[in-house]
Chain A
Amino acid sequence: MNNPKTSQKYAIIVGVMLILAAIYLVKLFSLQVISKDYEEAAKNNALRQITEHPDRGLIYDRNDSLLVFNDAAYDLMVVPKELRAFDTLDLCRILDITKEDLIKRIEKASAYSKIIPSLFAQQMSKEDYGYLQEKLYKFPGFFVQSRTLRSYPEPIAAHILGYVGEVNDKTIEDDPYYKMGDYIGISGIEKAYETELRGVKGQRVVLVDVNNREIGSYHNGEEDVRAVPGTSLWSTLDMRLQRYGEQLMQNKRGSIVAIEPKTGEILCIVSSPSYDPNLLVGKSRSKNYTMLWRDSIKKPLFNRALQAMYPPGSTFKLANGLIAEEEGILDANTIYNCPGGYQVGSHIIGCHHRGGTNLIAAVQHSCNTYFCKAFYNIISNKRKYPTIQEGYTAWRNHIVKLGFGTTFDTDLPYEKKGILPTAEYFDKRYNRSWNGNTVVSMGIGQGEVCVTPIQMANMLAIIANRGYYIRPHVIKAIGSKDNLNTQYMDKVDAGIRPEYFEPIIQGMEMAAIAGTARRAQIPGIRIAGKTGTAQNPHGRDHSVFAMISPVEDPQIVVFCLVENGGWGASVACPIASLITELYLTGEVKRKDLEESMLNLSTK
């Protein structure tokens, strides 16, 4: 037994084990004590920062009616690994899917991951959710995840409210606030007031396991930051007016813009055809957007109130009358004789009436001759402006001061400037040889000039205010109804003395009593109106109407344009009148007129 040879082998075996143990000791020492990398790695491994998304701010109308709110959406999620046998028929019935569909969805989820939750059914209805919640215990492996989506109580004001969508790569790059998958306002109020509406993101630090499953909060949530919900906004819009306007514009193309002149607050802004804002929410947003985008006939995404450029037509005569007065060309009593047209070379611009007429009557009867002459005299006033270029530029500057050829740059989405050519443009076009008569059709709102409905409505506000305007905007208050939006409160001077407005307003009032705008009459209210017929080279003329009321203390100006509606008095005039009636009296009594306008189709 005491064999020295065997004992030596025992020693060698033990020795080899001790050497191995020493190697392991060194390895463990370097791994655990020397290297610090692993501690850092462990932190990243186990702790995860989870962003808490705040609810977006709500949007109310001027009378505290909700225009936009957040709706909870419920997604049914599945974790394939946790699935157990369950009553498939029951689940199929709740979700209204076939058994094949159910199997397919589970297979798809399993193929993606057995342990990471997959979307099983997106945006279930509240009813389905309520019913499912009761029975969820019967379906192990399924759970419901809630998120918030924009929702609209009524399908109105889509263009102005705008929509929310996933943030794009470029924005993520430019603005560190946004992370992949965040939502951002893409257009309209949602975009203009993104910083107010979005709120402040919160953060939770949670322990997660290797499968990204949350295990619990870290340090009992001491390092968590609560999300701050977005700020609510009060819009200048009157929901009732907006709804009514959109109803009236059904089956028509065109736009209505109503402004409270004293404040520049937009009461309603209609662009027709429009779309249901609920279409651009959640799972079907991109599909619906593509559908709307591809609709080249209706072009529902095109906001006519801000982006469509029309020849202003006769309503533009109001501006020219004012400028002529300001330039000293004429006053309320100046009489031009109208021989039934204004001759430009061999061409005659026709006119419906004849005889000598003063400014008031010219507005009342929309005399073409009068305003052509006035316009000609403004830009060809050699005493004041030696050249036609100077004369035209002086006129153009007045027009710009009246809010044309420029944008208001408020909270309105994608405004267009319109078209207002410069003297250089005409120099180029006519090789510097042009005179007042070359461009005289601009005097009656035809020719090279194009404007947007919002610009026209703003001009009406200037007339109503007798000399100034406040840039039109759609947000009245931020955070609370008393906290007014002070960004857009400054009066902008239009460069016309107040007294020059009287003959214009008088003419407009006369038009409503005994002129072109008789259909605009509202019993018991003094109104001023101006019809227009914008010439349309592509088809029937556009029906245009401008309206200020009540005359003694204007509360509302309305500009309405109905494409292919024919002459101003036929369609645009009654619609503008109905809007005014609803706003000023609270109800529409002229049911027949309302009915005929609602049923009218110009498509």
Chain B
Amino acid sequence: MPLSYKQESTKGFDGRLILYYSLLVIIGWLTIFSTSYNPSASQGFSFSLPYVRQLLWIGTSIVLAVVILLLDSRIIQHYSYHFYILCLLLVISTFFLGSEINGAKVWIKIGAFSIQPSEFMKLATALALAKFFNEGKTLGEKRSIWFIAFGIILTPAFIILLQKDTGSALVFFSFIVLFYREGMSGIIFIIGAIAVFLFVFTLLTNEIYAIALLTVILIIAWIIDRKDKKKIIRNIIIYAIAIVFIGAVNIGYNKILQPHQRQRIDTILGKTSDPKGADFNLIQSKIAIGSGGFFGKGYLNGTQTKLNFVPEQSTDFIFCAIGEEWGFVGSCALGALFLSLVIRILRLAEKNRNPYARYYGYGIAGIIAFHFFINIGMTVGLVPIIGIPLPFISYGGSSLWAFTAMLFIFIKLNDN
């Protein structure tokens, strides 16, 4: 589809991005206030209250944003690798310095505050990839380039996975958006989709049915392509790979996954129901969102999210509060806001003459979109519960700082 590329002015910072950013941060703070506000107790202005602390994160984020906008973008480009290495070291250092929260050892305590290096790792990886691609190594030409590119994303992902922060590790696969844009074949996605289908099918039924289904497809393909020997051989190879994949899924599910992880997958697939155990979070989350109705219960009037029924209601499950208090209308508005932000980034990236900015833009658009879809998806039961925050909205300093830096670096790059 031919798109028109009107030459819009790229002078000045993009006002719309700043507007979207401001709206999201304000919505986030109001929601955090709503989830931690207790009408029956006069809480005052204690620093232990989440909404007071978040105010501090917002304030410091604004300072961070201003500093970034004042920087020379060449400095950012120049130090991309350094930043990447630094973050990688920080992530590794959590093995030794980190304190464990909710079973994941991903936090470094500094005084009264904790920072989560993996949040910054995403930004650093986006910068590093942009620099790598920008240094003349167009993708799709040399295999080794792909290996290095995957190396850049898989190294932090693997380390973070070792720290049992599966959610943050998975985020690194969002760079596939960038890879696709920069030359990776779309077939990979089709293969990916087939793999997901086989995965779900195998777990929902069992491997025998999955193999039977594949065999039927192979026979049909054989009949269609019976004249073409090459295609028959190719099909048999695909068939063999698929069967190996099914076997791997089977072993991985039964042997490698922890029982609670298996539970979560089972819950999403609808295989088991356990209202007080593994399903609890999801059920409470759905009740909160579902009880919001069309227009919601009104700001500060949510009962589910106010009374701690929803776990992590100011962090990973903050969308529950929005869904409950603002209803379908509010949920859609928030979705629209996120989509507008992501598409705006993609559009500006696409138009930018500086390839570095384009690579970077696609990278962070992928990250933000991934966070958005996974986070909302888990609260409504479309994807398994993976603990990642909703960008700009969820409570937490590390997340807000990292996403602010991410976005304002792009705004800065876009200005040049």
Residues of chain B with a CB closer than 8 A to A349's CB? none
B15 vs chain A, min Cβ distance (A): 21
- Is B2 engaged at the interface, CB distance under 8 Å to the other chain? yes
Instruction: Provide the bound-state CA to CA distance between A553 and B176, in Å.
Output: 110
Q: Which one of B177, B303, B324, B382 lies within 8 Å of A24 (CB-CB)?
A: B382
Residues of chain B with a CB closer than 8 A to A12's CB? 186
Contact pattern, A 56-86, Cβ under 8 Å of B = 1, otherwise 0:
0000000000000000000000000000000
Residues of chain A with a CB closer than 8 A to B177's CB? 13
A32 touches B346 (CB 8 A): no
A13 touches B180 (CB 8 A): yes
Q: Which of B74-82, B121-129, B195-203, B335-343 faces chain A?
A: B335-343
B339 touches A18 (CB 8 A): yes
Residues of chain B with a CB closer than 8 A to A10's CB? 3, 181, 346-347, 350
A9-B181, A39-B293 as given contacts; A46 in contact with B309, CB under 8 Å? yes
A38 touches B3 (CB 8 A): no
B327 touches A24 (CB 8 A): no
B290 touches A35 (CB 8 A): yes
A21 touches B339 (CB 8 A): yes
A24 touches B291 (CB 8 A): no
A24 touches B289 (CB 8 A): no
| Residues in A554-599 with C-beta less than 8 Å from chain B | none
Instruction: Provide the bound-state CA to CA distance between A209 and B369, in Å.
Output: 33
B139 vs chain A, min Cβ distance (A): 12
A27-B380, A39-B290 as given contacts; A11 in contact with B5, CB under 8 Å? no
Contact pattern, A 20-47, Cβ under 8 Å of B = 1, otherwise 0:
1101110111011101011101100111
Q: Which one of A17, A24, A37, A210 lies within 8 Å of B343 (CB-CB)?
A: A17
Q: Which residue of A lies closest to B40 (CB)?
A: A216
Q: Which one of B289, B332, B343 lies within 8 Å of A14 (CB-CB)?
A: B343
- Is B353 engaged at the interface, CB distance under 8 Å to the other chain? yes
- Is B1 engaged at the interface, CB distance under 8 Å to the other chain? yes
Question: Main secondary structure on chain A at its contact with chain B?
Answer: helix
B307 touches A208 (CB 8 A): yes
- Is B287 engaged at the interface, CB distance under 8 Å to the other chain? yes
Residues of chain B with a CB closer than 8 A to A42's CB? 287-288, 290-291, 303-304, 324
Give how many A-B residue pairs fall within 8 Å (CB-CB). 121
B176 vs chain A, min Cβ distance (A): 10
- Is A2 engaged at the interface, CB distance under 8 Å to the other chain? yes
Residues of chain B with a CB closer than 8 A to A38's CB? 286-287, 289-291
Instruction: Provide the bound-state CA to CA distance between A43 and B33, in Å.
Output: 22
A32 touches B323 (CB 8 A): yes
A197 vs chain B, min Cβ distance (A): 35
- Is A180 engaged at the interface, CB distance under 8 Å to the other chain? no
Residues of chain B with a CB closer than 8 A to A24's CB? 335, 373, 376-377, 380, 382
Q: Which one of A8, A45, A47 lies within 8 Å of B287 (CB-CB)?
A: A45
B340 vs chain A, min Cβ distance (A): 11
- Is B22 engaged at the interface, CB distance under 8 Å to the other chain? no
A6 touches B2 (CB 8 A): no
B275 vs chain A, min Cβ distance (A): 10
A28 touches B380 (CB 8 A): yes
B52 vs chain A, min Cβ distance (A): 20
- Is A1 engaged at the interface, CB distance under 8 Å to the other chain? yes
A48 vs chain B, min Cβ distance (A): 10
Residues of chain B with a CB closer than 8 A to A46's CB? 303-304, 307, 309
- Is A486 engaged at the interface, CB distance under 8 Å to the other chain? no
Instruction: Provide the bound-state CA to CA distance between A29 and B290, in Å.
Output: 9
B186 touches A207 (CB 8 A): no
Residues of chain B with a CB closer than 8 A to A9's CB? 180-181
- Is B209 engaged at the interface, CB distance under 8 Å to the other chain? no
Instruction: Provide the bound-state CA to CA distance between A276 and B368, in Å.
Output: 74
- Is A111 engaged at the interface, CB distance under 8 Å to the other chain? no
A6-B350, A27-B380, A33-B328 as given contacts; A39 in contact with B291, CB under 8 Å? yes
B304 touches A8 (CB 8 A): no
A13-B177, A38-B287 as given contacts; A20 in contact with B346, CB under 8 Å? no
A28 touches B181 (CB 8 A): no
**Residues of chain B at interface, number, CB under 8 A:** 50
Residues of chain A with a CB closer than 8 A to B40's CB? 215-216
| Residues in B291-340 with C-beta less than 8 Å from chain A | 291-294, 303-304, 306-311, 323-324, 327-328, 331-332, 335, 339
Residues of chain A with a CB closer than 8 A to B331's CB? 28, 32
Q: Which residue of A lies closest to B186 (CB)?
A: A12
- Is A7 engaged at the interface, CB distance under 8 Å to the other chain? yes
A22 vs chain B, min Cβ distance (A): 10
A1 touches B382 (CB 8 A): no
Instruction: Provide the bound-state CA to CA distance between A47 and B287, in Å.
Output: 14
Residues of chain B with a CB closer than 8 A to A45's CB? 284, 287, 303-304, 307, 309
B2 vs chain A, min Cβ distance (A): 6
B339 touches A23 (CB 8 A): no
Q: Which residue of A lies closest to B293 (CB)?
A: A32
B163 vs chain A, min Cβ distance (A): 25
B386 vs chain A, min Cβ distance (A): 16
Q: Which residue of A lies closest to B180 (CB)?
A: A9
- Is B38 engaged at the interface, CB distance under 8 Å to the other chain? yes
B328 touches A32 (CB 8 A): yes
B307 touches A37 (CB 8 A): no
B287 touches A211 (CB 8 A): no
B303 touches A207 (CB 8 A): yes
B175 vs chain A, min Cβ distance (A): 13
Residues of chain A with a CB closer than 8 A to B3's CB? 7, 10-11
Residues of chain B with a CB closer than 8 A to A32's CB? 289-290, 292-294, 323, 327-328, 331
- Is A345 engaged at the interface, CB distance under 8 Å to the other chain? no
Instruction: Provide the bound-state CA to CA distance between A28 and B304, in Å.
Output: 17
| Residues in A150-168 with C-beta less than 8 Å from chain B | none
- Is B277 engaged at the interface, CB distance under 8 Å to the other chain? no
A210 touches B335 (CB 8 A): no
A25 touches B335 (CB 8 A): yes
Instruction: Provide the bound-state CA to CA distance between A210 and B283, in Å.
Output: 13
B57 vs chain A, min Cβ distance (A): 25
Contact pattern, B 29-49, Cβ under 8 Å of A = 1, otherwise 0:
000000000111000000000
Residues of chain A with a CB closer than 8 A to B335's CB? 21, 24-25, 28
Instruction: Provide the bound-state CA to CA distance between A523 and B68, in Å.
Output: 113
B291 touches A28 (CB 8 A): no
Residues of chain B with a CB closer than 8 A to A6's CB? 181, 350
Instruction: Provide the bound-state CA to CA distance between A25 and B289, in Å.
Output: 13
Instruction: Provide the bound-state CA to CA distance between A27 and B328, in Å.
Output: 10
| Residues in A187-226 with C-beta less than 8 Å from chain B | 207-211, 215-216
Q: Which residue of B lies closest to A27 (CB)?
A: B380
B293 touches A29 (CB 8 A): no
A13 vs chain B, min Cβ distance (A): 6
Q: Which residue of B lies closest to A215 (CB)?
A: B307
Instruction: Provide the bound-state CA to CA distance between A33 and B294, in Å.
Output: 5
B273 vs chain A, min Cβ distance (A): 14
B307 touches A209 (CB 8 A): yes
Residues of chain A with a CB closer than 8 A to B382's CB? 23-24, 27
Instruction: Provide the bound-state CA to CA distance between A37 and B291, in Å.
Output: 8
Instruction: Provide the bound-state CA to CA distance between A27 and B331, in Å.
Output: 11
Q: Which residue of B lies closest to A31 (CB)?
A: B290
Instruction: Provide the bound-state CA to CA distance between A38 and B309, in Å.
Output: 13
| Residues in A275-320 with C-beta less than 8 Å from chain B | none
Most chain B beta-carbon neighbours within 10 Å: one of A8, A27, A29, A31: A31
Residues of chain B with a CB closer than 8 A to A355's CB? none
Interchain residue pairs A-B with the least CB separation, the first 3 = A38-B290, A42-B291, A209-B307
Binding site for A on B (CB under 8 A): 1-3, 5, 38-40, 177, 180-181, 186, 284, 286-294, 303-304, 306-311, 323-324, 327-328, 331-332, 335, 339, 342-343, 346-347, 350, 353, 369, 373, 376-377, 380-382
Return 13 A-B CB contacts under 8 Å, by A number: A11-B3, A17-B339, A24-B376, A24-B377, A24-B380, A27-B381, A31-B380, A32-B290, A42-B288, A42-B303, A45-B287, A46-B307, A210-B310
Extra A-B contacts (6), CB below 8 Å, given A42-B288, A42-B303: A1-B353, A17-B369, A29-B328, A32-B292, A32-B323, A45-B309
